[in-house]
């Protein structure tokens, strides 16, 4: 069984640029959630993808968007980067079978916006 | 709206002393509560959830709906318990959507 992987590990971008972060979900998981974790804060929910569609979103602007592919891997895209977007971005995968699905987290991508 | 509050950023205890990490929540309904842990250089992982009512690594947590609390407890702290602990809440799922709200975390430091 393969765990959740994320790429890249670290990324430095300039304000105004666009970025794409990638996540491979754990084998057998069909749901992916993305979180933003600013320094000293807990993870904040960005959105969740299930069967290639966004089915829930937190308080993040539309410039945060995502995709989920048929193999359940996912991308997080952020346009028009701002300095406050600097954070650790976490991906978590889960399976929708059963009443509640435990989330398995990836190691994160550290994004720095200068 | 759902909110999770962890009032302590840092909790330092001596090895063998009891541990209590505080968590209070706000949610209009019946939430599911969890504790996640992040050890140094490791990824975030689920420690326990209130529905399971189980003890993991000696830790327990009881949901107190009257006080809207879900404190994490362990009678005797071990050095390997040193980590970052996050309390989290999941509201009712609608259409398969599960939003999890995390607290800001408490760093537990166990002093040898």
User: Residue B6: is its pLDDT beyond 80?
Assistant: yes
Specify which of A108-112, B64-68, B92-96 reaches the highest per-range mean pLDDT: A108-112
With CB atoms and an 8 Å threshold, state whether B100 touches A108.
no
Greater confidence, A30 or A44?
A44
CA distance B58 to chain A (A): 20
Q: How confident is the model at residue B73 (pLDDT cuts 50, 70, 90)?
A: very high
SS3 at position A37: strand
β-bridge pairing A87-94 and A31-37: antiparallel
User: Residue A81: is its pLDDT beyond 70?
Assistant: yes
Q: What's the per-residue H, E or C state across B58-80?
A: CEEECCECCCCECCEEECCCCHH
**A33 vs B: CB within 8 A:** yes
Which residue on chain B is closest to A101 by alpha carbon? B98
pLDDT in tens, A7-33: 999 999 999 999 999 999 988 888 899
Query: Which pLDDT value is given to residue B52?
Result: 77
Contacts of B59 (CB under 8 A, 6+ apart): B35, B47, B48, B72, B73, B74
Q: How confident is the model at residue B29 (pLDDT cuts 50, 70, 90)?
A: confident
**A52 vs B: CB within 8 A:** no
**B96 vs A: CB within 8 A:** yes
Greater confidence, B98 or B31?
B31
User: Residue A108: is its pLDDT beyond 90?
Assistant: yes
Q: Provide mean pLDDT across the span B88-99.
A: 72
pLDDT averaged over every residue in chain B: 91
pLDDT in tens, B45-62: 999 988 777 788 999 998
SS3 at position B50: helix
Testing the interface with B: which of A2, A4, A42, A98 to mutate, by most B Cβ within 10 A? A42
User: Residue B110: is its pLDDT beyond 60?
Assistant: yes
With CB atoms and an 8 Å threshold, state whether B97 touches A102.
no
Burial A33-42 (b: 16+ CB within 10 A, else e): bbbbbeeeeb
Q: Is A33 within 8 Å of B100 (Cβ atoms)?
A: yes
**B8 vs A: CB within 8 A:** no
Q: Is B34 within 8 Å of B48 (Cβ atoms)?
A: yes
User: Residue A98: is its pLDDT beyond 70?
Assistant: no
**B84 vs A: CB within 8 A:** no
With CB atoms and an 8 Å threshold, state whether B101 touches A45.
yes
User: Residue B90: is its pLDDT beyond 70?
Assistant: yes
């Amino acid at each position: 069984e393969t765990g959740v992987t994320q790429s890249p590990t670290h990324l430095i971008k300039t304000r105004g640029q666009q970025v794409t972060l990638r996540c491979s979900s754990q084998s057998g998981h069909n749901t992916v959630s993305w979180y933003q974790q600013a320094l000293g804060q807990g993870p904040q929910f960005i959105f969740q993808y299930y069967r290639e569609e966004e089915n829930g979103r937190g308080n993040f602007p539309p410039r945060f968007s995502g995709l989920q592919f048929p193999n359940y891997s996912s991308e997080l895209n952020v346009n028009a980067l701002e300095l406050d977007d600097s954070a650790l971005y976490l991906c978590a995968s889960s399976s929708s079978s059963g009443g509640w699905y435990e989330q398995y987290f990836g190691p994160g991508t550290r994004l720095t916006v200068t | 709206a759902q909110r999770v509050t962890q009032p302590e950023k840092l909790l330092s205890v001596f090895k063998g002393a009891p541990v209590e990490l505080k968590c209070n929540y706000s949610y209009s309904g019946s939430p599911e509560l969890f504790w996640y842990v992040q050890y140094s250089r490791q990824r975030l992982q689920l420690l326990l959830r209130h529905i399971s009512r189980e003890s993991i690594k000696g830790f327990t947590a009881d949901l107190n709906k009257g006080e809207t609390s879900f404190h994490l407890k362990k009678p005797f702290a071990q050095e390997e318990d040193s980590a970052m602990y996050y309390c989290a809440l999941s509201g009712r799922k609608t259409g398969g959507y599960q939003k999890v709200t995390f607290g800001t975390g408490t760093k537990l430091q166990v002093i040898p």
